[in-house]
Chains A and B, each alone.
Chain A
Amino acid sequence: MPPQRSGVAVTETEAESATATSAQEVRPRSKLASTGEVIGLYAICLFGALAIAAALVEFASDKGSWTTVYTVILDGAVRKPGRWGLTLGVAAPILLVALGTTVSGRAGLVNIGQEGQLVIGAAFTAYVGTRIGGPGPLALVISLAMGVVGGAIWAGIAGALRFWRNVPEVLTTLLMGTVAANLVGWGLRHRSLLLAPPEGRANRNQVSQPFAADRHIPRVTLFGNDFPISILLAILLAIVVWLVLGRTVVGFRLRMLGRNARTAQRAGVDQKRYGIGAMLVSGGFAGLAGGVMLAGGDFGPYQLVADFGAGIGFAGLLAALVARQRALVIIFVAFLFAGLRTGSGFLRATGVSARIADVVQGTLVLAMLLPPAILYLRARRRAIAATSSRT
Chain B
Amino acid sequence: MTSTHDDHVGGERSSPPAVELIGITKHFGQIVACDRVNLTLRRGQIHGVLGENGAGKSTLMKVLIGLVLPDAGEVRLHGRTVQITDPVNASAHGIAMVHQHFSLVEALTVWENVALGDVGRLDHRHIRRRVGEISEHYGLHINPDDRIADLPAGMRQRVEIIKCLRRDPEVLVFDEPTSVLSPSESEFLFAALRRVVTEGGKAVALVSHKLPEILSVTDEVTIMRDGRVVQSGSTGGTHASALAKAMVGRSVVLRREHAAFGVIETDGDQPVPEVAAPRRPAATEPALRLIDLSAIGRDGRVLLGGLTLDVYPGEIVGVAGVEDNGQRTLGDVLSSLANIESGQVLVNGVEVATGKAGAMAKAGIAVIPEDRHDSGCVLDFTVAENLFIADPDRVSRRGLINMATMRAKATQLIEQFSINCTGPNAPMWSLSGGNQQRVVMARELSHSPKVLVAAQPTHGLDVGAIEYMSDQLRNAAVAGVGVLLISTELEEILDLSDRIVVIYNGRIIGEMPKSEVDIARLGLLMGGATSDATTTIGGSGD
Contact = CB atoms under 8 A, between A and B. Distances in A.
Interface of A: 2-3, 5-13, 16, 23, 27, 29, 31, 247-250, 252-253, 255-256, 259-260, 262-271, 383, 386-391
Contacts of A29: 380, 427, 429
B358 A5 contact: no
Interface string B334-346: 0111110000000
B436 to A, nearest CB: 10
A259 B102 contact: no
A263 B389 contact: yes
Contact of B332 (A11, A250, A263, A388): A11
A43 B102 CA distance: 41
B400 A11 contact: no
A369 to B, nearest CB: 22
B379 A268 contact: no
Contacts of A253: 392
Nearest to B339: A13
Interface string B363-404: 000010100001111111100010001101100100111010
10 contacts: A6-B153, A11-B338, A12-B298, A16-B338, A263-B378, A265-B358, A265-B375, A266-B357, A266-B367, A387-B429
Among B59, B102, B392, max chain A CB count under 10 A is at: B392
A269 B357 contact: yes
Contacts of B141: none
A235 B176 CA distance: 53
A252 B390 contact: no
B67 to A, nearest CB: 9
B540 to A, nearest CB: 13
B433 A3 contact: no
A276 to B, nearest CB: 14
6 closest A-B pairs by beta carbon, nearest first, are A268-B358, A2-B101, A262-B375, A11-B338, A267-B390, A260-B378
B393 to A, nearest CB: 7
B381 A266 contact: no
A276 B367 CA distance: 28
A255 B367 CA distance: 21
Among A31, A263, A389, max chain B CB count under 10 A is at: A263
Contacts of A3: 101-102, 104, 106, 156
A200 to B, nearest CB: 48
B509 to A, nearest CB: 20
Nearest to A24: B374
A389 B153 CA distance: 22
B295 interface: yes
A259 B379 contact: yes
Interface of B: 28, 33, 53-54, 58-59, 62, 68, 100-104, 106, 151-153, 156, 175-176, 180, 295, 297-299, 301, 303, 323-324, 328-329, 332, 335-339, 355, 357-362, 367, 369, 374-381, 385, 389-390, 392-393, 396, 399-401, 403, 427, 429-430, 432-433, 460
A225 B377 CA distance: 51
Among B152, B328, B329, B336, max chain A CB count under 10 A is at: B336
A23 B379 CA distance: 11
Contact of A266 (B100, B102, B335, B399): B335
Nearest to A7: B152
Nearest to B406: A252
A271 B357 CA distance: 8
B381 A259 contact: yes
Contact of B153 (A7, A10, A259): A7
B536 to A, nearest CB: 19
Contact of B358 (A2, A249, A266): A266
A31 B427 contact: yes
Given A2-B102, A29-B429, A249-B396, A270 B357 contact: yes
Nearest to A268: B358
Contacts of B297: 9, 11
A9 B332 contact: no
Contacts of A271: 357
A252 B297 CA distance: 32
Contacts of A252: 385, 392, 401
B303 A27 contact: no
A48 to B, nearest CB: 30
B467 to A, nearest CB: 20
A390 B324 contact: no
A263 B106 CA distance: 28
A8 B102 contact: no
B336 A249 contact: no
Contacts of A11: 295, 297-298, 303, 328-329, 332, 338
Given A5-B153, A5-B180, A247 B361 contact: no
B92 to A, nearest CB: 22
Nearest to A250: B399
Contacts of B58: 388-389, 391
B324 A8 contact: yes
Contacts of B68: 389
A263 B399 contact: no
A262 B393 contact: no
Contact of B377 (A2, A12, A263, A269): A263
A259 B324 contact: no
B153 to A, nearest CB: 5
B299 to A, nearest CB: 7
A269 B332 CA distance: 16
Nearest to B176: A391
A256 to B, nearest CB: 6
B437 to A, nearest CB: 13
A9 B378 contact: no
Given A11-B295, A27-B379, A390 B339 contact: no
A249 B393 contact: yes
A322 to B, nearest CB: 20
A256 B375 CA distance: 11
Contacts of A389: 28, 33, 58-59, 62, 68
Contact of A256 (B295, B328, B329, B378): B378
Contacts of A263: 374-378, 389
A249 B338 CA distance: 25
